[in-house]
Amino acid sequence: MEIKYKVKNCWEAAGDSDKSEVTPFCEGYKNFMDNAKTEREAASLAVMLAEQKGFRDIDSVTALKKGDKIYIKNRGKSVMLAVMGEDSLKGFNIVAAHIDAPRIDLKQNPLYEDLELAFFKTHYYGGIKKYQWLAIPLSIHGVIVLGDGTKVNVIVGEDDSDPVFCITDLLPHLAQEQMGKKMSEAVTGEGLNLLVGSIPGKDEKDKVKGAVLELLHDKYGICEEDFISAELEIVPSSKARDLGFDRSMIAAYGQDDRVCAYTALAGILETENPSKTAICMLADKEEIGSMGNTGMKSRFFEDSVAKIISLEKAAKGEAYNDLMIRQAFASSFCLSADVGAAVDPNYKDVSELSNAPRINGGVMITKYTGSKGKANSSDASAELVGRIRKLFNDNKIIWQIGELGKVDQGGGGTVAQDLANLNIETVDCGVPLLSMHSPMEISGKMDVYMAYKAYKAFYSSI
């Protein structure tokens, strides 16, 4: 081992086989991103890919034994996958990522008309810089539950022949007052109104709104009240693209955290007969605090693990009891797979360069997140970081350390604390991004590929 620690650049340090595999791997990732722009789409695509690899719905099995592959769906918005090891009571190897991303949701009663233009009222989801969402093409994805209970799926704005939508911005010529405001106040939450139509219909009043409703009724069979039981999400309509003359990076919406979700998924889909039971958890609602029954704090995770253990016990003719899940968690390890803030040469002063992750520096191990003195961080132990570091070194996985900005610069958290609170050894491990939470986040292809290799090696570790 070198005496000095130095972050490597993967494009220099990686072996030839890694260099030849990174591009095809990232093509699969980009394809996933174009077809998984919401948590619902990511969850159903994960299930589809899992079924192709022989994973079965847990509801269709009556017992589980080593090598079995199952998935457990949670309300179409989150999903757990598992490949059975010898004995789950010896602990699990868990990779937990989230499949929701910052976006803009429609309000429950969204449609209105102003000066003969029709708009949707919105409420943003997660931490966005509002000005970034103006004057870019947007699409609408989601579900509408009709009055009779029928569910209609909606995707508009992705196909080249689809229309797109937009939140307008003020022209610079008339923006003197706006430009003098603080960035956090120049665009308001109530100002994020989505432009959706302009042709007047036959109604006496609100003619354009009426005409838009007519169109929606013809296409989806919906009336205005149906919006109340809908979840419609506004996301950038752009596709994932290579970035740079050298195509070394990926520009895409939603890489926080679908880059870790995809790599965690790709890893478990290739896991065969692990010694310990491998679990890939794809959770919802991380961007708004992991709450609710599809978030990481939900009992879904524990209930699903209990189900796995009880089916494993059933195969041996033994009964499940509550101590078993506690014993299993106490022996488990988890990589909380989430993105980090790559140092940005244009904004270096928010990072401390000896500890900040670099684009293409490899998969990132983050001992603690939090803010103001590590608050709300689970702060992984030296023993755990040592174990993971050794695993990665042994498997020729290029890794780097990461922290979320300078001390007292700001901060944030991940699902690591939720897993750690269950008495599971947990450390953050993911991909550094530039422009995180923007409509076009940037990752380094080598980091994406190293994350996949890292999660794959971890699932099968002893």
Min dist CB 339 to Mn ion, Å, is: 5
When the beta carbons of 232 and 404 are compared against Mn ion, the nearer one is 404
- Site residues, Mn ion (CB under 5 A): 256-257, 338
Query: What is the CA 442 to chain-centroid distance, rounded?
Result: 14
Min dist CB 368 to Mn ion, Å, is: 16
When the beta carbons of 206 and 256 are compared against Mn ion, the nearer one is 256
Min dist CB 63 to Mn ion, Å, is: 36
| Closest residue to Mn ion: CB criterion | 257
When the beta carbons of 64 and 99 are compared against Mn ion, the nearer one is 99
CB 130 within 8 A of CB 124: yes
Non-local (6+) Cβ contacts of 58 within 8 A are: 70, 71, 72, 304, 307, 308, 311
When the beta carbons of 210 and 340 are compared against Mn ion, the nearer one is 340
Min dist CB 254 to Mn ion, Å, is: 10
In order, the DSSP letters of 294-359 are TBTTSTHHHHHHHHHHHHHHHHTT----HHHHHHHHHT-EEEE---EE---GGGGGGS-TTTS--T
Non-local (6+) Cβ contacts of 345 within 8 A are: none
Two tokens, residue 127: 């931490």
Query: ∠ CA 210-104-225 to the nearest 5 degrees?
Result: 35
CB 73 within 8 A of CB 289: no
Query: What is the CA 411 to chain-centroid distance, rounded?
Result: 18
Neighbours of 153 (CB within 10 A): 12
Min dist CB 81 to Mn ion, Å, is: 19
When the beta carbons of 338 and 447 are compared against Mn ion, the nearer one is 338
When the beta carbons of 83 and 436 are compared against Mn ion, the nearer one is 436
CB 120 within 8 A of CB 194: yes
Q: What is the 3-state secondary structure (H, E, C) of 207-230?
A: HHHHHHHHHHHHHHCCCHHHHHHE
When the beta carbons of 39 and 226 are compared against Mn ion, the nearer one is 39
When the beta carbons of 227 and 253 are compared against Mn ion, the nearer one is 253
Rounded Cα–Cα distance for residues 112 and 114 (Å): 7
When the beta carbons of 83 and 260 are compared against Mn ion, the nearer one is 260
Min dist CB 227 to Mn ion, Å, is: 27
* Residue 333 parent element (H or E): strand 333-336
Min dist CB 76 to Mn ion, Å, is: 20
Query: What is the CA 440 to chain-centroid distance, rounded?
Result: 14
* Residue 98 parent element (H or E): strand 92-98
Min dist CB 367 to Mn ion, Å, is: 17
**What is the sign of the dihedral through the CA atoms of 161, 166, 169 and 173?**
positive
Min dist CB 38 to Mn ion, Å, is: 15
When the beta carbons of 328 and 415 are compared against Mn ion, the nearer one is 415
Rounded Cα–Cα distance for residues 63 and 309 (Å): 10
Beta bridge partners of 427: 335
**End-to-end Cα separation, the chain, in angstroms:** 23
Torsion of CA 139, 142, 146, 150, to 10 degrees: 130
When the beta carbons of 141 and 437 are compared against Mn ion, the nearer one is 437
Rounded Cα–Cα distance for residues 411 and 22 (Å): 31
Min dist CB 211 to Mn ion, Å, is: 38
Min dist CB 135 to Mn ion, Å, is: 23
Residue type at position 330: A
